A and B are shown apart, each in its own frame.
Chain A
Amino acid sequence: MLEGKFDEASLLKKVIDAMKDSVKLCNFNCTENGISVQAIDDSRVLLISLLIEAGSFEDYRCDRNIVLGLEMESLNKIIKNGNASDMLTLVAEDSPDALNLIFEDKRRDRIAEYSLKLMDIDQDFLKIEDMKFDAVVNMPSAEFAKICRDMKTLSESLQIIITKDSVKFNSEGDFGSGSVVIKSFTDLEKTEESVRITLEKPINLTFGAKYLNDIIKSTPLASQVTIKLCDKQPALFEYQLPSGYLRFYLAPKFED
């Protein structure tokens, strides 16, 4: 049996909000350590890897491994019915037909209970070996989101160029071009405002702006995003959860 209680529904609300536009069907794998998901978008360009460790829950138990096949749009409809500050408990039997979601208001005696039918989802799984990266950028997630949104107004591609202590986001469109350069910066008082660049080799990679604009839907989850890049390899964008992560692997664009 699975029983996982979040102190606040807001965490799962944000996670589902971040994923639902990229992937329609997901298997949520529940083990004693927590809940994990691997899902790939229909175009097979973007892979989502989610880990909500048991430590992200107020209470968590899962006696046997359970797979919950969930339709994200349906899950999102139910999740939206709960308030962000409600306690949320996920309950499923050992061989479940449904996932139960219980929202409890902390101040009033109000309990809302929903049941979501499960689906059999035949999903293929990609093996992601330990990847080596040439550059790692830690930066404020809100700033990264703004850059992705702004650059998408110009072109459907966004170029990321990293040299020594700066990252340049460059967009070349039909009617014009634009770029934003950010440099390493340490804010000792507000560490979440800092930009850290770790570079082994200079980077020049191009990504689909559409996918980046799906990834930045994770912005409410974490104040910082970590971007890991390697020449002609998928990039990794990571948002930390209180205990766990939401990662996106995005295939680049390049000439064959």
Chain B
Amino acid sequence: MSKQQTLGSFFSSA
């Protein structure tokens, strides 16, 4: 089952 990823897993907070 595919899971919706969030952007926090790919981009870091500035």
Q: How many residues of B contact A (CB 8 A)?
A: 14
Which B residues touch A249, using CB under 8 A?
Answer: 7, 11
Total A-B pairs in contact (CB under 8 Å)? 56
* Contact status B14-A127, CB under 8 Å: yes
A47 touching B7 by the CB < 8 A rule? yes
Chain A, interface SS category: loop
Contacts of A129 in B (CB 8 A): 11
Contact B10 A253 (CB under 8 A): no
Using Cβ atoms and an 8 Å threshold, which residues of chain B touch A47?
7, 11
12 additional contacts (CB under 8 A) given A233-B10, A255-B2: A45-B5, A124-B13, A126-B12, A126-B13, A127-B11, A127-B14, A129-B11, A157-B2, A206-B2, A234-B10, A251-B6, A254-B5
Neighbouring B residues of A234 by C-beta, 8 Å: 7, 10-11
A residues with a Cβ closer than 8 A to B are 40, 43-47, 124-129, 157, 206, 208, 233-234, 249, 251-256
Q: CB distance A44 to B10 under 8 Å?
A: no
The CA of A124 and the CA of B6, in the complex, are separated in Å by 15
Pairwise interchain contact B3-A251, C-beta atoms closer than 8 A: no
A255 B13 Cβ-Cβ under 8 A: no
Contacts of A46 in B (CB 8 A): 7
Are B7 and A254 in touch, CB under 8 angstroms?
Answer: no
**18 intermolecular pairs with C-beta atoms under 8 Å apart:** A44-B6, A44-B8, A45-B5, A46-B7, A124-B13, A126-B7, A126-B11, A126-B13, A127-B11, A129-B11, A208-B4, A251-B4, A251-B6, A253-B3, A253-B4, A253-B5, A254-B3, A255-B1
Q: How far, in angstroms, from A253 to B14 measured CA to CA in the complex?
A: 24
Contacts of A127 in B (CB 8 A): 11-14
CB-defined contacts of B1 to chain A, threshold 8 Å: 255
* Separation of A177 and B12 alpha carbons in the complex (Å): 37
